[in-house]
C-alpha cells in the first residue's frame, strides 16, 4: 500500500494524522530546532564562529578618509553528516482482530511505536545540541552545587551564568532562551523555589502553573527525559541547531493477505550544530 496520508487506514482511521498527534510529548527538541527539508541524505553544512567580526592589527575598522576599507571575513568550518532512518513495526494485527477488536488496540499500538521513533530521534537531537555532554564548541558551566544538595546550591546563579556566557560569546541578546531539564531537574528546581521562603511566593507563582514549572531564571522551561542525568542546558536551538529532514514522520500498512496487517512508522533526518555558542550545557546538577 502506498505510503501517503489518507491511504494508511485501518477501520477508517487515518494513521498518519494520528501518528503526528502522538509525537508531541516525545518531540521536545525537534519542535525547537530549525527544521528544513532536504532531498539528499548527505548533509554538508558550515559551523560558524560566533561573535562580531573584529579587525586584527594592522587592519582596522576605522579608516582614514579616502582610504580603502580592510576586508573582514567570517570564519566557517565545513562539516558533513548523513541522515539517520528511524523505523519500527507494530505487531501483526490479524484479520480477525481487525474485524472485531476495539479501535483502542490499534491506537495503542500506533501510539507506542510512534513514541519509540520520535523519542529516539529527539534523543539524537539532544546529543547533537549538547555535543554528547562533552562540550568543545558549545558553552559550558558547572553548577555551584548539585541542585538536589541539602544546602549551598544556587540554580538561579548557574542559569544566569549560562545566559551570560551565551551573551558574551555571541555578542547578541539572548532573546528566547529555553532551559532544558529532566523530570528530576524540574522537581529539584521546584523544591529550591519553595525553600526560599515567603519572599519568593509572588515570584514562584509566576514560575509554576498548576504544578508545572514553566519559567525559571528568565528562561522557558522544557522537560524531557532525553536530558542526560546530571545535566541541564540553556539554549536558543532555533539559532544553534538545524534538523535536515529527508522523510517526515510517515505511516504505512504492511498487508499479508487473509492473515493480517501491521503498522510501520518511519522518519529520516539528522540534526547539525551550526552556531554552537547559542547553547550552554550545565553539568553537576545531580548528586
The pLDDT tens digits of the residues spanning 126-172 come to 999 999 999 999 999 999 999 999 999 999 999 999 999 999 999 99
Q: How confident is the model at residue 10 (pLDDT cuts 50, 70, 90)?
A: very low
Spatial distance between the Cα atoms of 130 and 137, rounded to a whole number of angstroms: 10
Judge whether 56 lies within some domain: no
Nearest in space to 73 (alpha carbons), one of 62, 59, 63: 59
Per-residue pLDDT at 235: 98
Alpha helices in 130-154 (DSSP H): none
The pLDDT tens digits of the residues spanning 118-133 come to 999 999 999 999 999 9
Tally of domains within the chain: 1
Judge whether 172 lies within some domain: yes
What is the domain extent for residue 227?
A: 9-51+73-283
Per-residue pLDDT at 4: 35
Rounded mean pLDDT of the chain? 87
Q: How confident is the model at residue 53 (pLDDT cuts 50, 70, 90)?
A: low
Q: How confident is the model at residue 206 (pLDDT cuts 50, 70, 90)?
A: confident
Per-residue pLDDT at 24: 63
Judge whether 2 lies within some domain: no
Judge whether 272 lies within some domain: yes
Judge whether 58 lies within some domain: no
What is the pTM (predicted TM-score) of this model? 0.84
The pLDDT tens digits of the residues spanning 95-124 come to 888 777 766 677 788 888 989 999 999 999
Pairing of strands 139-142, 279-283: parallel
Cβ–Cβ < 8 Å for 283, 143: yes
Query: The domain that contains 94 carries what CATH number?
Result: 3.90.1690.10
Judge whether 60 lies within some domain: no
Judge whether 212 lies within some domain: yes
Bond prior to 96 in cis (omega within 30° of 0): no
Spatial distance between the Cα atoms of 180 and 282, rounded to a whole number of angstroms: 10
Judge whether 213 lies within some domain: yes
- What average pLDDT does the segment 253-273 reach? 93
Amino acid at each position: 500500500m502506498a505510503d501517503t496520508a489518507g491511504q494508511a487506514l485501518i477501520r477508517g482511521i487515518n494513521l498518519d494524522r494520528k501518528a503526528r498527534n502522538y509525537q508531541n510529548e516525545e518531540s521536545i527538541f525537534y519542535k525547537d530546532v530549525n527544521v528544513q527539508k532536504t532531498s539528499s541524505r548527505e548533509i554538508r553544512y558550515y559551523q560558524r564562529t560566533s561573535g562580531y567580526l573584529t579587525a586584527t592589527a594592522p587592519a582596522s575598522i576605522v579608516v582614514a578618509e579616502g582610504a580603502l576599507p580592510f576586508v573582514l571575513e567570517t570564519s566557517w568550518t565545513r562539516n558533513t553528516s548523513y541522515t539517520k532512518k528511524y523505523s519500527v513495526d507494530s505487531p501483526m494485527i490479524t484479520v480477525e482482530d481487525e474485524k472485531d477488536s476495539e479501535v483502542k488496540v490499534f491506537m495503542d499500538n500506533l501510539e507506542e511505536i510512534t513514541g519509540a521513533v520520535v523519542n529516539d530521534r529527539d534523543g539524537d537531537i539532544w546529543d547533537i545540541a549538547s555535543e554528547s555532554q562533552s562540550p568543545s564548541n558549545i558553552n559550558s558551566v558547572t553548577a555551584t552545587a548539585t541542585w538536589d544538595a541539602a544546602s549551598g546550591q544556587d540554580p538561579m546563579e548557574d542559569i544566569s551564568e549560562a545566559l551570560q556566557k551565551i551573551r558574551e560569546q555571541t555578542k547578541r541578546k539572548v532573546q528566547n532562551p529555553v532551559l532544558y531539564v529532566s523530570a528530576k531537574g524540574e522537581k529539584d528546581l521546584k523544591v529550591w523555589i519553595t525553600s526560599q521562603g515567603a519572599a519568593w511566593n509572588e515570584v514562584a507563582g509566576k514560575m509554576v502553573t498548576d504544578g508545572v514549572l514553566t519559567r525559571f531564571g528568565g528562561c522557558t522551561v522544557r522537560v524531557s527525559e532525553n536530558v542526560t542525568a546530571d545535566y541541564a542546558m540553556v539554549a536558543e536551538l532555533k539559532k544553534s541547531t538545524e534538523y535536515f529532514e529527508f522523510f517526515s514522520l510517515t505511516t504505512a500498512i504492511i498487508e499479508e493477505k487473509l492473515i493480517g496487517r501491521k503498522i510501520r512508522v518511519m522518519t529520516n533526518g539528522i540534526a547539525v550544530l551550526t552556531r554552537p555558542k547559542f547553547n550552554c550545557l550545565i553539568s553537576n546538577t545531580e548528586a
